[in-house]
Amino acid sequence: MVWTQKLGPDATPDEKLVFEALDDPRWSWRTLKGLSDSIKLDERKILHVLLAHPDLIRFSNSEKFGPIFQLVERHEPPEESFIDQALNYLSMGRRRIA
């Protein structure tokens, strides 16, 4: 993972938790609440970690979920990407977010 190399051995435990959660293959995008629920860390701390590493994340805003985040290096497997695209089209833009 590129994020592990960029964070390096001096990464804080909070940074490791946040980026490991972002790397969870079950989710394309993550919300602050979803990250907080999965790693048991305060949303403010998570946001602080994310804002400290803008080169490692993508940010977007969901009408339903608010701010959402994804690793820049994230690449979906081709079959999942095709399925996601088809479902995205059929669901008028809704995507897997947690």
Please report the pLDDT score of residue 33 as a whole number: 96
Please report the pLDDT score of residue 74 as a whole number: 77
pLDDT at residue 76 tops 70: no
* Number of neighbours of residue 63 by Cβ within 10 angstroms: 7
pLDDT at residue 93 tops 80: no
* CATH number, span 2-90: 1.10.10.10
Give the predicted TM-score (pTM) of the model: 0.74
pLDDT at residue 43 tops 90: yes
The pLDDT mean for the chain works out to 85
